[in-house]
Amino acid sequence: MLRPIATDKAPPPFSAYSQATRVSGGDDLVFVSGQVGVGLDGKLATTVEGQHETAWTNLLAILASEGLGPADIAEVTAYITDAGDTALYRTVRDRMLAGAVPASTLLVITALAHPDWKVEIAAVARAARQP
């Protein structure tokens, strides 16, 4: 089970995410490697927004392959290469997470592993333990 944690003893989140998330109940954890804006066809999305959407689509597809969805995500770590894309990242994240508010960290970095990549998103999700 996931339970968002909120306390007034620390500053509130700056956008739609939780201060922390507690995972309980002996669940398994699924660690999704960083996903970028490259589609199944191997092509990089042609816009920055398209890269953000494709990265989330890839991440959610991996979770779906395990029977999981946005509500199962405990933590997201995202990297963007332009601070000016922060609002775009948040808008796409909020739409793709469909109301889920996992713990979240966003970092603005100089570059990703390929110079054309603008965003990379990794996640940890909880999955009910399988027998």
Interior angle at CA 97, CA 94 and CA 101, nearest 5 = 80
| Contact present, 79 and 34 (Cβ < 8 Å) | yes
More confident residue, 26 or 101: 101
Burial class (CB in 10 A: 0-12, 13-18, 19+), 77: middle
Distances 31 to 23, 75, 121, 125, 126 between C-alpha atoms, Å: 14, 10, 11, 7, 9
CATH number of 36-127: 3.30.1330.40
Q: Give the pTM.
A: 0.87
Stretch 63-86: mean pLDDT: 96
**β pairing state of 73-80 and 103-108:** parallel
Query: At residue 14, does pLDDT exceed 70?
Result: yes
Q: Confidence class of residue 87 from pLDDT cuts 50, 70 and 90?
A: very high
